[in-house]
């Protein structure tokens, strides 16, 4: 049996907690861990709204060799603590990516460490490859929360080269999997988004086939009639749709459906991975696409100009930190705190029109609005603003420009 070089230099691993989905990769990993390390394997599945059928998962894990399976519902924590935080920051990686996968990884890894501590495990394992960002996101979270934890990343050390090898391995050992070598792409889904990459999508010129999308209709096939909705925010977080209040999970679920019906939230981008390479990804994020548009519209009347500029500057660092896996880093704690402070007065309503992939703002209002119609009006302002003040303001602004032409 192939044994990773680093394993030979460490003490024996007795118990490992594996992040387990029951799919091809982690099904193979479960048996491989037992064969390679001769250890107990506890499986853990996080429910972050991926929509997968969890019934039968425990039976499969136990039949493959796990001592037990934890299934943890993390949807509420994921949306309230992670997704809403990103909405408040208007976080976009490289100006496009809404960070759906990136935000899910730290909440999954956090619970995995909690289970490892509860079980007295000396190692954790994940199914991320050695080429991607997820390995970084998982492991930075592991080490931040338990510095002495041992990490096993099978894709960086085992003998298998690809999906065909895993399918053959599972077939040899009688492990039931639904994957086939012909699958043309990989998919990751959670309550915030669905992403697609690999296979036929690796060519950046190849258009994604329309039948891969799960959450949204194409704009061409979306509703022919526009839909108007009103979103209500409290301190930057969405709390109601059309005056009806929802919990975080239900609100995002409903917005995903509404946005999907109107072909909203599809993105095709080539992004810079933290490890150094470029990769092409296709994303569906209907609900949060609507939320970000509405949130920024509400900020436009409630947030001071300089505070907004500072927050937008921080937003770039915020998005990069999330993308690169530094959710539990000390500088990110400061960033989150600053973002929260900017949201104190971001409360009110935003009216939107949804139509064939477009999110169009048609109104915004707030009890904390800084927009004063009596000041900005082009009609008689009854002395609210003295236009003579502008002359001195302009001359002061022009001083450094005039000095360049003076003797």
Catalytic residue chosen out of the listed positions 21, 122, 134, 311: 134
Catalytic residue chosen out of the listed positions 67, 157, 186, 300: 186
- Whether 154 and 244 have beta carbons less than 8 Å apart is answered as no
Task: Give the CA count within 13 Å in the CB-facing half-sphere of 64.
Answer: 34
- Whether 146 and 113 have beta carbons less than 8 Å apart is answered as yes
Residue 374: active-site member: no
C-alpha closest to that of 182 among 206, 164, 198, 195 = 164
Catalytic residue chosen out of the listed positions 27, 75, 102, 105: 105
Residue 120's region, left for phi above 0, alpha for psi from -120 to 50, else beta, is: left
Helix (H) or strand (E) holding 358: strand 358-365
- Whether 24 and 39 have beta carbons less than 8 Å apart is answered as no
CA–CA separation, 61 vs 65, rounded Å? 6
Which strands form 278-284's sheet, in the order they lie side by side?
A: 186-189, 194-197, 278-284, 266-272
Residues 6+ apart with CB under 8 A from 179: 23, 24, 163, 166, 167
C-alpha torsion sign, points 20, 107, 332, 151 = negative
Paired tokens of 199: 């296979």
* Lookup result for tokens 């100006």: 95
Residue 25: active-site member: yes
Residue 174's region, left for phi above 0, alpha for psi from -120 to 50, else beta, is: left
Distance of CA 405 to the CA centre of its chain: 52
Long-range pairs, 253-257, Cβ under 8 A, ≥24: 253/49, 253/191, 253/287, 254/287, 255/286, 255/287, 255/288, 255/290, 255/291, 256/191, 256/215, 256/286, 256/287, 257/286
Q: What angle do CA 119, 124, 127 make, to 5 degrees?
A: 135
Catalytic residue chosen out of the listed positions 21, 25, 321, 347: 25
DSSP-derived 3-state class of residue 79: helix
Tell me the backbone φ, ψ of residue 52, rounded to 5 degrees: -75, 150
- Mind telling me the catalytic residues? 25, 105, 134, 186
């Amino acid at each position: 049996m192939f044994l990773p070089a680093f394993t030979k230099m460490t003490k024996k691993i007795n118990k490992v907690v594996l992040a387990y989905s029951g799919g091809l990769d982690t099904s193979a990993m479960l048996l491989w861990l037992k064969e390679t390390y001769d250890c107990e394997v506890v499986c853990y599945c996080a429910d972050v709204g991926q929509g997968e059928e969890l019934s039968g998962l425990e039976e499969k894990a136990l039949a493959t060799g796990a001592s037990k399976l934890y299934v943890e519902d993390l949807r509420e924590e994921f949306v309230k603590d992670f997704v809403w935080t990103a909405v408040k920051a208007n976080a976009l990686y490289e100006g496009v990516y809404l960070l759906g996968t990136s935000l899910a990884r730290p909440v999954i890894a956090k619970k995995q460490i909690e289970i490892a501590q509860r079980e007295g495990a000396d190692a954790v394992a994940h199914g991320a490859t050695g080429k991607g960002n997820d390995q970084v996101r998982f492991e930075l979270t592991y080490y931040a929360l338990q510095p002495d934890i041992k990490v096993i990343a099978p894709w960086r050390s085992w003998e298998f080269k690809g999906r065909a090898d895993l399918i053959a391995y599972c077939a040899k050992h009688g492990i039931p999997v639904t994957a086939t070598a012909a699958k043309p792409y990989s998919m990751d889904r959670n309550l915030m988004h669905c992403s697609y990459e690999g296979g036929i999508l690796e060519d950046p010129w190849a258009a994604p086939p329309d039948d891969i999308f799960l959450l949204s209709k194409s704009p061409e096939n979306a509703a022919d009639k526009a839909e108007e909705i009103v979103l209500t925010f409290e301190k930057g977080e969405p709390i109601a749709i059309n005056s009806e209040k929802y919990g975080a999970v239900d609100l995002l679920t409903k917005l995903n459906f509404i946005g999907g019906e109107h072909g909203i939230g599809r993105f095709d981008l080539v992004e810079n991975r933290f490890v150094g390479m470029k990769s092409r990804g296709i994303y569906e994020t209907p609900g949060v696409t609507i939320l970000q548009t509405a949130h920024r519209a509400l900020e436009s009347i409630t947030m001071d100009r300089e505070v907004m500029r500072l927050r937008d500057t921080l937003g770039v660092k915020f998005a990069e930190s999330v993308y690169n896996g530094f959710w539990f880093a000390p500088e990110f704690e400061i960033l989150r705190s600053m973002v929260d402070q900017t949201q104190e007065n971001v409360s009110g309503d935003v009216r939107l029109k949804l139509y064939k992939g477009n999110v169009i703002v048609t109104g915004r209002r707030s009890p904390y609005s800084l927009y004063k119609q009596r000041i900005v009006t082009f009609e008689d302002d009854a002395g609210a603003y003295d236009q003579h003040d502008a002359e001195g303001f302009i001359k002061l602004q022009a001083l450094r420009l005039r000095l360049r032409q003076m003797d």
